[in-house]
Amino acid sequence: MSLPAWSGAFEDLSTVRALPLPGDAREWAWGGSTGAGIKVAVVDSGVDGGHPAVGGVDGYVATVPDPDSESGVRFVDGKHDDLVGHGTACAGIIRSLAPDVEIYSVRVLGENLKGKGALFLAGIEWAIDNGMDVVNMSLSSKSPNLFGPLHDVADDAYFGNTVLVCAANNAPGPTYPSQFASVVSVAATSGQDPYTLAYNPNPPVEFAAIGIDIEVPWTGGSIVATGNSFAAPHVAGLTALIRAKHPDLTAFQVKAVLHAASQNAR
């Protein structure tokens, strides 16, 4: 089986020096947290709020093309379906780790898991403008034309204290915003423990979580899937736990805590 790009970086982990946390790093980081009070946006193909693994969605918005608007994008509020199952998988993974988060479905992808860059960009902007604490993006763009706009919006998130968690592309090559330093970038590694977290001392992709041959929620039930897409929401869920337990942490401090709680940190 061909593994997602960047997975190989986590096969032989070297120890990394990390910020010391009081006592056990993971217990300090998220022990006892349920994610209560934290808003998580799932920027994807939509989320099936009725799926038992998701257990409800707190808000919905879809980005659609609008040639009459200055941005070329219009926001449509109101309940929508998951056009694929991909967004439901991500939301269900987040919910499994952080059961009390508020989940917001931001639909930017169509039935073929494709979408225009302007819709993706607008979805991230909506999440920042609407006070999301964590944004899960199990998608990214290869387009050089989007490098600048996505870099700007990633900076807006960083300085606005919204943590962007982005899956690396499954195929080799740069994609955005996963390669931006302000973003928590994630690749897949093997295993079944949802709390698996490792740090790559040779970025741009920094963190790994499980995402190879794992069971994930999907439209109509569940599937066994592989991809960096399914690793990212594990890290988004852990990020939500950290933010709920330590609400005063800034975005860069949250990344430092994830680093310190990684299995290869000392």
Catalytic site residues?
A: 44, 86, 229
214-218 and 221-225 strand pairing: antiparallel
Q: Which two tokens stand for residue 87?
A: 């967004």
Q: Any bridge partners for residue 176, and if so which?
A: 141
Strands (DSSP E) found in 110-255: 134-137, 163-167, 184-189, 198-199, 207-210, 214-218, 221-225
Residue 148 to residue 162: CA distance in whole angstroms:
19
In angstroms, the Cα distances linking 190 to 7, 102, 205 are 9, 28, 16
Q: Which of 113, 124, 97 is nearest to 210 (CA)?
A: 97
In angstroms, the Cα distances linking 40 to 68, 144, 212, 256 are 30, 28, 23, 20
Q: Which two tokens stand for residue 255?
A: 């990344």
